[in-house]
């Protein structure tokens, strides 16, 4: 019963490098989200996908792109990493059609940009 799976768990990048964070869920949820977590800032929404084929910006989308590859997978791409993007990134999913479905989170990707 995997839930939400994120890869990689850790990553170190140099400024200007690019990478893609992967996320997959096996709960057949329609909605998926990418959050970043910084000390004292709580969780801030980067992008979300209400359903397969749609994506929308959250609070802090600058410097990121996303792809909703299919219903299961939602990836986050950093085209040119910056030190300000050092953070812990969480993917989450929910099923809004059944009342208000709480978010289910993965275990995070810890990214350091030097």
Partner 1 sequence: GQQLNQSPQSMFIQEGEDVSMNCTSSSIFNTWLWYKQDPGEGPVLLIALYKAGELTSNGRLTAQFGITRKDSFLNISASIPSDVGIYFCAGHQSGTYKYIFGTGTRLKVLA
- Binding-site ranges for partner 1 (CB under 8 A): 4, 31, 33, 35, 40-45, 48, 50, 56, 58-60, 90, 92, 96, 99-100, 102-108
CB nearer to partner 1: give 90 or 113. Answer: 90
Q: Which is nearer to partner 1, 8 or 96 (CB)?
A: 96
What is the closest distance, in whole angstroms, from the C-beta atom of residue 57 to partner 1 in the complex?
Answer: 11
Q: List b or e across 88-101, with b for residues whose CB sees 16 or more CB atoms inside 10 angstroms.
A: ebbbbbbeeeeeee
Q: Which is nearer to partner 1, 35 or 64 (CB)?
A: 35
- Minimum distance of partner 1 from residue 8's CB (angstroms): 14
CA 22 to each of CA 47, 72, 97: distance values in angstroms, whole numbers, following the listed order: 14, 11, 25
Whether 18 and 81 have beta carbons less than 8 Å apart is answered as yes
Question: What 3-state class would DSSP assign to 83?
Answer: helix
């Amino acid at each position: 019963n995997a839930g939400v799976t994120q890869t990689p768990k850790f990553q170190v990048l140099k400024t200007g490098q690019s990478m893609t964070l992967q996320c997959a869920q096996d709960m057949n949820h329609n909605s998926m989200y990418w959050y970043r977590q910084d000390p004292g800032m709580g969780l801030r929404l980067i992008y979300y996908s209400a359903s397969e084929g749609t994506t929308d910006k959250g609070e802090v989308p600058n410097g990121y792109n996303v792809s909703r590859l299919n219903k299961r997978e939602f990836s986050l791409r950093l085209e040119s990493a910056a030190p300000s993007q050092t953070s812990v990134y969480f993917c989450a999913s929910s099923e809004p059609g059944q009342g208000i479905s709480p978010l289910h989170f993965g275990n995070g990707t810890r990214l350091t940009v030097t």
